Structure 1
Amino acid sequence: MTNDVVNVDVTESGVARVELNRPGARNAWDDTLGDGMAAAFSDLAARPDVRAVVLTGAGTVFCAGADLVAGFPTTGDGRDDLRSVLRRRFHPAFLALLDLPQPVVAAVHGPAIGAGACLALAADIAVMAEDTYLQFRFTRIGLMPDVAATGLLAELVGPARATELMLLADPIEAAECQRLGLVSRVRPTAEVAGTAGDLAERLATGPTRAYAATKAAIRAWSRRSLADQMELEAGLQQTLVTTDDWAEGRAAFRERREPRYTGS
């Protein structure tokens, strides 16, 4: 199964490889990528022949987060409509990933930024290249974290550390990601795909329904709260479209320069 931006291949052993395929845009998450992921994950969830999933990205970047170059639709008053974009472009794909009954192994071979970092955290097992990083870069462009980042990160590292990581928005190197429990394994770049594939093959020979039940139990307490959290984030994010800092952050990103924030 293949479309323009999400490639899906299922092996005879029951391992599905889902590849984000916008390498020229660093696999930045636009409408087509969101729709493709939502469709792919929903399809795989219903397939009894699929027993494990590997999630990866084409090219040198796992996922660079939201596609800021493509821009956003606007509301009646001419402001960016970030809330509707989150609801339509990001939430269905992300929730479909969380709801997959099969084990998901992320092969994080290159940077995972913003919403891309959230994809890595949503996997059941994440294998990360030793020379890459995760980055919750939202505040660098004058916005706040979304796509459940506030819930996922606080759950993994605690509120205090999560707040520091999200406010400073610095890259988190692979060794630190593993120490914090953000990823499961760190490997040389050349070994990431093979390690992820081997783990998926092993999981594909296991008790599929037991895995699904285990995932359901682990997710049960947070699944509903994460959906609520994403809606809260979307509402708060929309309040930021009126700020000068968002306008400056977006302009600086497009012009590839450091932003000059005023706090207004």
Structure 2
Amino acid sequence: MDGNYQSYINRVVQMTAPINYEQQIKNIQSSPKFSGQKPVNFPGYTIITPPHGESNHNQEFYKKLAHTQRQLVEGLGADFFVALPADSFHITLADLIWDDIYLNAVKDKPNFDQLLISKIENIFKDYKTVYKESKPFEFDVLGISIFPRAIAVCLAPTEKFYESIIKLRQLIYQDEEIVDLGIEQNYEFAAHVTLGYFGDVSDDFDYHKVQSVVTEINDQWLENSPSNFIVEQFELRKFTDMTNFIRQDDWAMMKLY
């Protein structure tokens, strides 16, 4: 499903181009992951960078993200745009399983969690034999994108690092035991940090206001943003909702330094 590097750049640049905001805004809808300002139960597993609250890296980047997030809340309203806790900011490298699919998998296999944790550990070991040059991934900031249920800042790795990420995803999604656990690839890779989700979206919300606010903030972001984001580590995490990502010390982790 993941294309080559040039197709990635073309796709994500288009996602962040203000000229496309008008069309993106027409597709927005309330996220089921929040009820008012509170996250709803939404359990599952994912492969992500350490959340901002647990990382000592990219502090300037995260500081700018938090400022941008506050601007969005002020411009769009806290009911319309529900901000995530800044401590939860992260980049997802591979979605695994979530919500009802995860809950049903646990019902079918009471030891599902242990099986998944063990299998991801083995995949990380295999990845280390392929990715022998241990060097942090570098991402360039492209701008703000409006997703159907969220607003995020999108990024692009160099071609070399993109290929390394796609290799990891292939090892996961093409593994027979992973497939047998009910895990499959649902999305093309798009490196992003989610800033918040759409909450109370009425049928008559002001399209032009949303477009104006996001465009102005995007222009400010690109003028003043840190030049890049460094991924020095990624790991298996379990989430209970979209604000809480947890892990045990012995779960799979890949250090790139």
Greater share of strand: 2
TM-score, structure 1 as length reference:
0.29
Greater share of helix: 1
Q: Which has the higher contact order (CA 8 A, sep 6+)?
A: 2
